[in-house]
Amino acid sequence: MSCDLQAAGTIELYFYGELPQPERAAVQAHLARCAECRAALEDLAVIRAALAKRPDVATPPGGDWSGFMRRLNVAVAAEPSSRGPLDATPVRPLRRQLAPYLAVAATLTLVTFAVLTVLNRRPVPDTTSVATAPPTAGAAGAQPLRQASLTMTNPDPGLLAVSGEHFERSKLVVLGLVTKSGPQDDWAYERDLASSLLGDTRLYRQAAEERGMQPLADVMGDLELVLLQTSMADQPNEASLHQLQRLIRRRDLLTKMNAY
């Protein structure tokens, strides 16, 4: 870039129509004899034309704001200075909508605990990640969490309530994953659900961190990791399924979620 006018950004101001008339006339005269600035002007036109084809996205997918408003409602209601929910349709109706799924989750919980109980009696060595497994893995790891929850200073009851409901919804993913046995099992449903739950999980983790509810934030963080890895599994196969199952086991996620 050797032309001073271009280096100073004057050509852009000319292009945007933001130069006063005397300067504009001077730039026009300059353009007649400066190939570099003419090329710059041409590039700007190409950029504008290309950007005009860029989609103008001003709403969530499908123009559906309901999920956005519901999450915002929960977040605002959990604010320390909250003046109340945004509307009269926040968490409880959602719970009713999810009632059938929660019933399935409860059934799966029972089945899974039965399976886990059997598995715990016959521990299988983790050949790929033993060296990195935390010492608190297993059911015993949940005990400090319960104690930490009880000793949290000023826990926000509203956040605890919505977190409990969120954990119930998330169990559909976690339980679905731990009960699958191999590549013949399709887990597209769990991946889709994980994607839809990820935003809320992040929101609740941040809310817990802001309120000093670290034990809750830690569980949300573990859940966020599982949901993220689940949703990002572009080509779900046996290896990635086993990796997720190990992650859930090592973090003792189900037990921790049940503590709420």
CB of 65 to another protein, least distance (A): 7
x/- map, 163-202, another protein, by CB under 8 A: --------------------------------x--xx--x
Q: Confirm or reject binding of residue 65 to another protein (CB under 8 A).
A: yes
Q: Are 74 and 162 in contact (CB under 8 A)?
A: yes
Q: Would you report the helix, strand and coil content of the chain in percent, each value rounded to 5?
A: 70, 0, 30
x/- map, 68-107, another protein, by CB under 8 A: xx-xx--xx--x-x-xxxxx--------------------
The DSSP string of 81-129 is: T----SSS-SHHHHHHHTHHHHHHHHHHHHHHHHHHHHHHHSPPP-TTT
Q: Confirm or reject binding of residue 57 to another protein (CB under 8 A).
A: yes
CA dihedral 231, 218, 255, 129 (to 10 degrees): 70
Q: Confirm or reject binding of residue 110 to another protein (CB under 8 A).
A: no
Question: Which of 3, 13, 98, 225 forms a contact with another protein (CB under 8 A)?
Answer: 13
Q: Are 138 and 123 in contact (CB under 8 A)?
A: no
Q: Identify the DSSP state of 260.
A: -
CB of 73 to another protein, least distance (A): 9
Q: Which is nearer to another protein, 224 or 254 (CB)?
A: 224
Q: Which is nearer to another protein, 83 or 122 (CB)?
A: 83
Q: Which residues contact 27 (CB under 8 A, 6 or more apart)?
A: 5, 10, 11, 14, 19, 37
Q: Which is nearer to another protein, 62 or 100 (CB)?
A: 62
Q: Are 228 and 196 in contact (CB under 8 A)?
A: no
Nearest to 132 by CA among 250, 252, 9, 225: 250
Question: Which of 33, 54, 96, 121 forms a contact with another protein (CB under 8 A)?
Answer: 54
Q: Are 112 and 179 in contact (CB under 8 A)?
A: yes
How many residues interact with another protein (rule CB under 8 A)? 41
The DSSP string of 199-242 is: HHHHHHHHHHHHTT-HHHHHHHHHHHHHHHHHHT-SS--HHHHH
CB of 256 to another protein, least distance (A): 22
Q: Which is nearer to another protein, 58 or 130 (CB)?
A: 58
Q: Confirm or reject binding of residue 130 to another protein (CB under 8 A).
A: no
Count the alpha carbons within 13 Å of 256 in the hemisphere toward its beta carbon.
24
Q: Which is nearer to another protein, 156 or 254 (CB)?
A: 156
Q: Which is nearer to another protein, 50 or 118 (CB)?
A: 50
Q: Confirm or reject binding of residue 59 to another protein (CB under 8 A).
A: yes
- Please give the residue ranges that form the binding site for another protein (CB under 8 A): 1, 9, 12-13, 16, 18, 40, 43-44, 46-48, 50-51, 53-54, 56-61, 65, 68-69, 71-72, 75-76, 79, 81, 83-87, 195, 198-199, 202-203
